[in-house]
């Protein structure tokens, strides 16, 4: 065991004086494997937009993680990084309040991934149910790269590089967060002398480099896709994108299968269609009325409800589509946003890395990152 070295000459940064009691920090983000959809919005982005007002926010575009399954589509991954920034801006993320950055341009993340990989037993990583699910759903079989399971370790570094206190995510990410919490505890115990019996909330106070972050799962942790089976996902062709027109939304909603046969058959208000009803129809009275009529088989068809949901979704997306259109073709502006966000991200991540290296007896020299 070593005690943490004083970090007097860590790189200066605007975040080094950050006081978590005043403004807690969040880190979350998306893999650039396509545009963002309603699942992202209700599962995570909506919450991020709220938290911008009270939290220090870092949003990562996990482009290295996209390479784990799409190494042959690097051009698309690059394009999708810019598309996701457009989606963020459309959904209400404000780059003056939040740092939006590229994972591949923050070297501290890759370095911490390597170090954290030593703290996790290999079998522990492979037991992660989200990884297992992805292998199955994406049909990766036995031929996935070494980098694929490594992304789960990488995600612990994404979060811990920013010493985030909470991570607004959908349900599928909870196992990744659990792994992150384990790495943070282990690091603090092995390298900072934090007692293994102490409470998670005490780690920083007791000299640990990393806070133990918590998952902040939104009200809708898993929006089902329009296939009615899997989670809505950009890779599974079951998503409503924020750029979709009313016509497309209606068509996609029409595909959501409930198995109900007639207008007078009592319906199950916990089915997938009603997840959409409760998520997107804002008028609580109308939701209650639909639930009553559906459960009673009171002459109400799935088709009718689907159109009502499609209208509600269209109303939500209309201002987003308009905002997004303002950034079409403005790649230079988007790149400037990414550059500014990445500079802020590097300032904080370098500070974290310096502290972690000091603690792990790897702190030999200081360095600075300058972006061109």
Q: Does 222 contact ligand ATP by CB under 6 A?
A: yes
| 33 binding ligand ATP? (CB under 6 A) | yes
- Beta carbons within 8 Å of 335's beta carbon, 6+ residues apart: 82
Q: Which residue has the tokens 């109308």?
A: 286
**Residue 233 is a binding residue for ligand ATP (CB under 6 A):** yes
What Å distances lie between residue 345 and 115, 162, 245, 368, CA to CA?
Answer: 19, 8, 35, 13
Question: Which one of 13-21, 36-44, 259-267, 347-355 is the stretch in contact with ligand ATP (CB under 6 A)?
Answer: 36-44
Asked if 252 interacts with ligand ATP (CB under 6 A), we say no
Dihedral pair phi/psi, residue 22, rounded to 5°: -85, -50
Shortest distance in whole angstroms from residue 210 CB to ligand ATP = 20
Distance CA 70, CA 64 (A): 10
Candidates 103-111, 125-133, 144-152, 230-238; binding stretch for ligand ATP (CB under 6 A): 230-238
Interface with ligand ATP, residue 173, by CB under 6 A: yes
Task: Identify the residue among 4, 15, 26, 43 touching ligand ATP (CB under 6 A).
Answer: 43
Taking the C-alpha atoms of residue 35 and residue 292, their distance in angstroms, rounded to an integer, is 36
Helices (H), strands (E): how many in the chain? Answer: 14, 5
Size of the site for ligand ATP (CB under 6 A): 19
SS3 89: helix
Which residue number, 63 or 161, has a Cβ lying nearer to ligand ATP?
63
Residue 207 Cβ, how far from ligand ATP at the closest point, in Å? Answer: 31
- Segment near ligand ATP (CB under 6 A); pick from 75-83, 86-94, 168-176, 270-278: 168-176
Helix ranges restricted to H, 96-146: 107-117, 122-126, 129-137
Give the residue with the Cβ less far from ligand ATP, 115 or 160.
Answer: 160
For residue 37, what is the DSSP state?
B
Selected binder of ligand ATP within 40, 46, 55, 203 (CB under 6 A)? 40
Task: Single out the residue of 81, 232, 277, 338 in contact with ligand ATP (rule: CB under 6 A).
Answer: 232
Angle between helices 129-137 and 147-160 (to 10 degrees): 130
Pick 39 or 341: Cβ nearer ligand ATP: 39
Stretch that binds ligand ATP, among 120-128, 205-213, 233-241, 344-352 (CB under 6 A): 233-241
Helix (H) or strand (E) holding 178: helix 174-192
For position 30 contacting ligand ATP by CB under 6 A, the verdict is yes
All residues at 6 or more sequence positions from 269 whose CB lies less than 8 Å from its CB, including other chains: 291, 294, 295
Member of 4, 170, 213, 341 binding ligand ATP (CB under 6 A): 170
Assign 246 to helix, strand or coil.
helix
| Least distance between ligand ATP and beta carbon 344 (Å) | 21
Containing H/E element for 59? Answer: strand 56-61
Judged by beta carbon, residue 181 or residue 231, the one nearer ligand ATP is 231
Q: Is 230 in the site for ligand ATP (CB under 6 A)?
A: no
**φ, ψ dihedrals at 225, nearest 5°:** -80, 175
The tokens 């919005």 sit on which residue?
41
Residue (235 or 258) nearer to ligand ATP, CB? 235
Contact 33, 235 (CB under 8 A): yes
Q: Which of 44, 103, 161, 271 binds ligand ATP (CB under 6 A)?
A: 44
Site for ligand ATP, residues 303 to 362, rule: CB under 6 A? none
Spatial separation of the C-alpha atoms in residues 119 and 182, rounded to whole Å: 9
Q: List the beta bridge partners of residue 37.
A: 241
Assign 165 to helix, strand or coil. coil
Q: Which of 48, 55, 231, 344 binds ligand ATP (CB under 6 A)?
A: 231
Judged by beta carbon, residue 77 or residue 194, the one nearer ligand ATP is 77
Give the E-state strand segments of 140-186 in sequence order: 166-169
Tell me which of 4, 15, 27, 31 binds ligand ATP, using CB under 6 A.
31
Give the interface with ligand ATP as residue ranges (CB under 6 A): 30-31, 33, 39-40, 43-44, 169-170, 172-173, 221-223, 231-235
């Amino acid at each position: 065991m070593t005690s943490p070295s004083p970090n007097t000459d860590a790189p200066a940064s605007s975040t080094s004086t950050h006081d978590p009691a005043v403004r807690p920090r969040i880190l979350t983000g998306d893999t650039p494997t396509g545009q963002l959809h309603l699942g992202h919005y209700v599962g995570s982005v909506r919450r991020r937009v709220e938290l911008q007002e009270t939290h220090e926010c870092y949003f990562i575009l996990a482009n290295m993680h996209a390479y784990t399954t799409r190494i042959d589509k690097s051009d698309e991954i690059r394009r999708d990084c810019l598309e996701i920034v457009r989606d963020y801006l459309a959904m209400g993320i404000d780059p003056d309040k939040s740092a939006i950055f590229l994972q591949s341009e923050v070297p501290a993340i890759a370095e911490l991934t390597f170090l954290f990989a030593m703290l996790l037993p290999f079998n522990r990583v492979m037991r992660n149910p989200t990884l297992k699910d992805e292998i199955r759903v994406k049909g990766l079989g036995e031929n996935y790269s070494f980098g694929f399971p490594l992304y789960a370790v990488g995600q612990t570094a994404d979060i811990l590089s920013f010493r985030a206190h909470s991570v607004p995510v959908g349900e599928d990410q909870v196992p990744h967060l659990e792994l992150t919490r384990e790495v943070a505890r282990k690091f603090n115990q092995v390298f900072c002398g934090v007692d293994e019996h102490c409470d998670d909330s005490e780690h920083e106070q007791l000299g640990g480099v990393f806070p133990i972050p918590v998952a902040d799962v939104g009200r809708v942790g898993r929006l089902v896709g329009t296939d009615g089976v899997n989670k809505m996902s950009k890779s599974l062709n079951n998503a409503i994108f924020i750029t979709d027109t009313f016509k497309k939304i209606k068509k996609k909603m029409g595909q959501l299968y409930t198995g109900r046969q007639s207008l007078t058959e009592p319906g199950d208000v916990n089915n997938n269609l009603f997840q959409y009803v409760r998520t997107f129809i804002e008028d609580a009275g109308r939701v209650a009325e639909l639930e009553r009529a559906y459960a009673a088989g009171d002459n109400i068809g799935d088709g009718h409800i689907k159109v009502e949901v499609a209208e509600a979704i269209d109303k939500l997306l209309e201002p987003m589509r308009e905002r997004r259109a303002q950034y079409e073709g403005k790649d230079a502006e988007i790149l400037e946003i990414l550059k500014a966000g990445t500079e802020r991200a590097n300032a904080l991540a370098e500070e974290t890395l310096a502290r972690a290296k000091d603690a792990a007896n790897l702190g030999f020299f200081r360095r600075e990152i300058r972006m061109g």
